[in-house]
Amino acid sequence: MAAPSREELLSLLRERLSPRRVLHTLGVEAVAVCMAARWGADTEAASSAALLHDMTKEAPDQLQLLRYYGILPSEWGETVPNVYHALTGAAFAGELGYDEELVSAVRWHATGRAGMTVLEKILFIADMADPFRAAYPGLADIRGLLYTDLDQALALGLRETLRFVRENGRPEDQFTGEALYWIERKWENGNV
Ligand SMILES: [Fe+2]
Ligand SMILES: [Fe+2]
């Protein structure tokens, strides 16, 4: 099965998401494609991953969708409800015929994880740096780093994610902490 064209993904988006989230998605796509060009990743994969990353976020019942796809959060690791859309979005992308690398980028876009691929890093950071996103404390620094130091931009993004969930009293996803630990150990070991 051939994966959908960009035009087909755009119409899927418009059917499923509010205009505000479509705008966010297009912003993420623009940043992700530029980052992919900068960091030697596949720009087409970056575009598709970005267009797919929040595709299921406005589905009325994430648990029902998880059941529909035959996945429970525990199968991809315990995660928090805010992140369910990343699991269902990844399943949606897999159903459309996208490869493992792209599906994985959608899966980890909201939390990060230890051992992230370049495409996973790009989507995670682009999601946080979308030009239409409301300002938050680390945003300018992340934007300043995303073409010059991918791992520093990632570390900042992970720290901001942890700060946001803590300040808003939301449950913390284990994978974000693990990702930050991984990237910081990499520097300590001089393995960058
Ligand atoms: Fe998301
Ligand atoms: Fe997003």
Task: Return the ligand number nearest the Cα of 130.
Answer: 2
In a domain, 1, yes or no: no
Residue 123 alpha carbon to ligand 2 centre in Å: 9
Ligand 2 ion: nearby residues, β-carbon < 5 Å: 54, 127
Neighbours of 156 (CB within 10 A): 20
Structural domain range at position 72: 6-188
The domain spanning residue 125 has which CATH number? 1.10.3210.10
Residue 191: pLDDT band by 50, 70, 90 thresholds? low
Q: Is residue 130 part of a domain?
A: yes
For residue 134, report the distance from its CA to the centre of ligand 2, in Å: 12
- What phi-psi label fits residue 26: left (phi over 0), alpha (psi between -120 and 50 degrees) or beta? alpha
pLDDT digits (tens, 9 = 90+) for 6-45: 999 999 999 999 999 999 999 999 999 999 999 999 999 9
Query: pTM of the prediction?
Result: 0.95
Does the residue 183 lie in any domain?
yes
pLDDT tens digits for range 38-97: 999 999 999 999 999 999 999 999 989 998 998 877 776 677 888 999 999 999 999 999
Element (DSSP H or E) covering residue 26: helix 19-39
109 alpha carbon – ligand 1 mean position (Å): 6
